[in-house]
Amino acid sequence: MKKYALAAAIAALATLAIFLGVRWAVYGRHIEITDNAFVKADTIIVAPKISGRIAKVYVDDNAIVDEGDVLVAIEDEDYLAQLQQAEGEVAARAAALDAIRLKIEQAGAGIASAAATVKSTQASLALQKIERERAAELARENFATRRSLDQADAALKDWSGRAEGAAAGLDAAKASASIAEAQEKEAAAALKIAKARLSYARSNLDATRVRAPKSGVAGNLAARDGQYVNPGQRLLSVVPIMDVYVVANFKETQIGRIRPGAKVRLEIDAYPGAELEGEVESLAPASGAEFSLLPPENATGNFTKIVQRMPVRIKVTHAPADIALLPGLSVTAAVDTRGGGAGAPTALFAPHSEPSL
């Protein structure tokens, strides 16, 4: 009887060993597992663009916010006054530019009038020169008196003076137009600067309402009513919990077969028994130690080899509806290396999308 029991036990152990061996050969040897993994989210620090005293905090810790919601209001009286001042400056600069342009139009009309006067006096001067030559010819032949020649000389001198005056008037009109055109450029530049100041004042006034940059959950609230804040000072954080992912830190000896697109089984420590599905998105371009504040310097006499960890970003493709994936939760990740792409080393990283300008 004991012989049969022993044989049955040996057979059961052999069957189990065969089953585990086949399972490892078919499935297990293709799986890379790590429990050094965590849920992550691209947490956004909310900070003001301007300085001022907080008039009202509209959000509480752990509150759901939508993109564009007003989270904090900064007192806006000073910025409203700056906006009104900028609007007045723009109006004044625009009026000055209009006045100069009217002056340019008038200068153009003055140039046209002066040019017509020059043309008329030049014609009269040419006619008077002919009259003077005729009077001189008649005087030489004694058909005209000396007085007639003197009158012709006086008239020629008079028209010569008028022609010179008309030419000077034309030059003055052109100079006036040139000055007005220079003033127009200066006034146009001043108006452009005033409009830029107006745009800046509007931006500052709009910045008195600190809005949620993305939908998520507010947390780590530091803003208080009546508090004075400066540009860049942290007020709170917004955690986009709808866009979480997993970062798994695999040993360097495990990543040789891990490729983007590989299927991943995820287990969250906070939810025992719940299995999630994921997919490898990309591998980090360097180990976690290389991105630390003080990267290790191994070019020393005392070197101890330590297995490095390589961060792998995993997209969660399926999760039960009744669990909340919160950043910081511990995860166990198992990557099936039979999936995923292959090819050049650059295939390990996420593609870059060029912005449309």
Q: Which pLDDT score, from 0 to 100, does residue 344 have?
A: 46
The structure tokens 């012709």 sit at: 152
Secondary structure letter of residue 352 according to DSSP: P
CATH 2.130.10.10 describes domain 30-43+238-348: no
Phi, psi angles (nearest 5°) of residue 153 = -65, -40
Residues 6 or more apart from 155 whose CB is under 8 A from it?
A: 128, 131, 132
Locate the DSSP E strands across 119-195.
none
Topology (CATH level 3) of domain 45-74+213-237: OB fold (Dihydrolipoamide Acetyltransferase, E2P) (2.40.50)
Q: Which pLDDT score, from 0 to 100, does residue 158 have?
A: 66
Average pLDDT over residues 78-87: 96
Q: Which pLDDT score, from 0 to 100, does residue 192 have?
A: 95
Give 77-206's CATH code, choosing from 1.10.10.10, 3.40.190.80, 1.10.340.30, 1.10.287.620.
1.10.287.620
Q: Which pLDDT score, from 0 to 100, does residue 112 have?
A: 76
Average pLDDT over residues 89-106: 89
Element (H, E) at 46: strand 44-46
pLDDT at 104 over 70: yes
Q: Within 10 A of 248 (CB to CB), how many other CB atoms are there?
A: 28
Q: Write the CA distances from 307 to 148, 253, 257, 331, integer angstroms.
A: 122, 8, 17, 20
Give 248 or 168, the one with higher predicted confidence.
Answer: 248
Average pLDDT over residues 85-91: 96
Residue range(s) of every CATH 1.10.287.620 domain in the chain: 77-206
Residue range(s) of every CATH 2.40.50.100 domain in the chain: 45-74+213-237
The structure tokens 């000396």 sit at: 146
Q: Which pLDDT score, from 0 to 100, does residue 299 have?
A: 67
Average pLDDT over residues 135-151: 62
Asked if 54 and 224 touch (Cβ cutoff 8 Å), the reply is yes
Q: Can you state the angle between helices 77-140 and 146-206, rounded to 10 degrees?
A: 170
pLDDT in tens, 169-215: 777 777 777 787 888 889 899 999 999 999 999 999 999 999 999 99
24-48 burial code (b ≥16 CB/10 A, e <16): eeeeeeeebebebbebbbeeeebbb
Mean pLDDT of the chain: 82
Q: Within 10 A of 153 (CB to CB), how many other CB atoms are there?
A: 14
pLDDT in tens, 267-290: 999 999 888 999 999 998 888 788
